Structure formats: C-alpha cells, structure tokens
Amino acid sequence: MTSSTLSTTRSAEVNLGNALEDRGLRRTTARTAVTDRIEGLSDAFTAEQLCRDLPGVGRATVYRTIRHLVDAGALCKLPILDGAPMYSIARIEHHHHTVCSRCGAVGEFRHSTVERVMRSLANEIDGDIIGHRMEIFITCNSCLAELAAGNSTING
C-alpha cells in the first residue's frame, strides 16, 4: 500500500471525557461509563448496542452523551441505509469511511485525490458546495478470509 496520498494515521490520543469537559459538561459517572466503554470498543457501534452494554446507565443518558460527542466532533455518525446509524471514534480530521457489507466493520480513510476532485467539481455543480460525504462499500479482509475458508471446505 502506497501511503503518499492515502492516510489512515490515527492522531495521538483520543480522550472522549476531555472532549465533553472541553464543552463545559460535567464529568459524571454515567458519562464516564459511556466514554470508557466507547474507548474500549475497537469497532463502530450503535446506540442500542451501548445501551445493552451499559445496563447501569439510562437509555436517555446514553443517547444524550453520544449526541454531545458527535457535536464535539469526537464521534462520527454514519448513516446506515436500513438500520440505526453507527458511531465510531473520529481519529482523522476530515475523512471518509469504508463499510464492510458483510460484517459491518467501519474503517476510516483520507485520500488527497478525493479532496482534489471535490474542488474540481465546484465549477460544475449548481450552487455552493459546503461539504461532502463518501462511503466505500467493501468486503473486508477478514470476511474475504472467512469466505475463502468456507469455499475451500465446500470444494474439498
């Protein structure tokens, strides 16, 4: 993989508790439970998943905390066409997502060419461009491996 234009570098540290504090919000036990749990997850998650994982925290509080974190830019909210949106820690400033259509794993990427294309589209799109979103749907490597394993079993 050439890394001249593709970037998946994760910025030094992410502290969701600090992200909330920076917005003038109190550091409560419920919020700490939520942010700790999110930081402990390696993958993207849904709000309901978090609620199940944290039965000691009220549903309203889980949803409110997620909303704060999205507002703070610390979480990405990724719309899923048929289902609840997924959230993941924003590790790269401006970026796009890969979504595995088989297992739902979400990745982040940045590619300068995408941003260059956006600039070049400015003259050709009616109206003022104020932003964009892009998702790439993939079959992730671990799913490819599983599929290969499954096939080889079937095919002998």
Contact flag: residue 27 with DNA (CB under 7 A): yes
Q: Per CB under 7 A, which of residues 59..88 are in contact with DNA? A: 59-61, 63-65, 67, 82-85
The least CB distance from residue 156 to Mn ion, in Å, is 41
- Indicate the SS3 state at residue 45: strand
The least CB distance from residue 75 to DNA, in Å, is 13
User: Please, are residues 148 and 155 in contact by the beta-carbon 8 Å criterion?
Assistant: no
Q: Per CB under 8 A, which of residues 77..136 are in contact with a second copy? A: 77, 79-81, 85, 98, 100-101, 107, 109, 111, 113-114, 117-118, 120-121, 123-136
CA distance 65 to 81: 23
Contact flag: residue 155 with DNA (CB under 7 A): no
Number of residues in contact with a second copy under rule CB under 8 A: 42
Produce one character per residue of 6-17: b if its CB has 16 or more CB atoms within 10 Å, e if not.
eeeeeeeebebb
Number of residues in contact with DNA under rule CB under 7 A: 24
Closest CA to 114 of 130, 128, 100, 133: 133
How many whole angstroms from its chain centre is CA 38? 11
Strands 106-111 and 86-89, sheet pairing: unpaired
Q: What are phi and psi of 54, to 5 degrees?
A: -125, 70
Which of Zn ion, Mn ion, DNA, none binds 29 (CB below 5-8 Å, type-dependent)? DNA
Residues in contact with a second copy by the rule CB under 8 A: 1-2, 5-6, 77, 79-81, 85, 98, 100-101, 107, 109, 111, 113-114, 117-118, 120-121, 123-141, 143-144
